Amino acid sequence: MAKFVLRRLAMVPVVLWLVATLVFFMIQLIPGDPARVAAGRNATLEQVQAMQQKLGLNKPLVEQYVSFLNQTIHGDLGTSIFTFRPVLTDLGQVLPSSFELVFAAMLINIAVAIPLGVITAIFRGTRTDFALRIITLLGATVPVFWLGLVLQYLLGAQMRIFPISGQKPSGAQIERITGMTTIDALASGNLPLFFMTLHYIALPAFVLSTSFIAVSARTLRSGMINILDSDFITLARAKGISNFRLILRHALRNAILPTFTILGMQVGWMLGSTVLVESIFGRQGIGSYATTAVLQKDIFAVIAVVLVMGVVVTLVNLLVDIGQKLIDPRLRISDA
């Protein structure tokens, strides 16, 4: 296991270098002049040229690339041309909010998808199976922005069940500890405020999780059906093992591995999907930050966002692989 982890960790710098290189050269294709944006609309030609020199944009592209790699290796992701703050400082402000949203959405995903996948596998071919499969199919096909706007209007504006936007009640003061409003409210010992913040995150998290629930449930359903049709399940039934134990201990444990892999990959996908959800519900996170960075052609901010997402996806995939080996001993034997 130690050798496996070390091998995977050794691949991380290579993956991040490839991602950073690809994004660096792709960002050059975006129309617009970053120096013009940084200098302001009314800046003179001399001011724009001075800003180009300050940002190092007057150097040859290869020299800019080498300088960028050198700064990145030393932990300097540059300065945002929009906020004029170090990009790491900006990311430290917005990342916790996005992680909070992704974590809440993943909890909803797991809580709904696993029972849904098991039930549809057990009752396959019945009306229950058909109805639940239609629901999951709708969840996978409905655009996130449309679902968010509809639920925001119905459950927020009309029924007033959930807040329309924001992360906490207006005027509420929460001491920043982690940057996650729910955790910070709980850490402060203010339980009413904690439940209010949960109320604010519930609808955005549900909207973010809908398409992922469909994928997870369908993956688990397929795995469960294959396991339930296997010989060892038939033998277990012949021995008189109860259906509850048969499903949970034998079928689900063997069918969960592909779903476990999908869930791990979905963490990175969710982080990238926060763009629309955060925009709709007025949450300040990495999605809204990335949108602004692209529109302003904020080179260093865009590259930093992609690098952070690359780190998250790489580390989550590593944790998923380790988890698979812990769950299934056969995978550890195959690597021995």
Q: What is the pLDDT of residues 89-100, one digit of tens each?
A: 888 888 999 999
**167 in Cβ contact with 197 (< 8 Å):** yes
CA distance 155 to 145: 15
Q: What is the pTM of this model?
A: 0.81
Average pLDDT value over all residues in the chain: 83
pLDDT at 322 over 70: yes
**140 in Cβ contact with 214 (< 8 Å):** yes
Q: What is the pLDDT of residues 38-68, one digit of tens each?
A: 777 677 778 778 877 777 777 888 888 888 7
Predicted local confidence at residue 331, as pLDDT? 59
Give the pLDDT mean for 292-314. 80
CA distance 90 to 293: 11
End-to-end CA distance of the chain: 9
In the CATH hierarchy, which fold is given to the domain comprising 89-335? MetI-like fold (1.10.3720)
Q: What is the DSSP string of 242-298?
A: -HHHIIIIIIIHHHHHHHHHHHHHHHHHHHHHHHHHHHHHT--SHHHHHHHHHHTT-
CATH 1.10.3720.10 placement within the chain: 89-335
Give the pLDDT mean for 303-319. 81
CA distance 6 to 42: 53
Predicted local confidence at residue 16, as pLDDT? 78
Q: What is the pLDDT of residues 17-38, one digit of tens each?
A: 887 788 778 777 766 667 776 7
Q: What is the pLDDT of residues 172-216, one digit of tens each?
A: 888 888 889 999 898 888 888 999 999 999 999 999 999 899 888
CA distance 276 to 254: 36
Predicted local confidence at residue 327, as pLDDT? 67
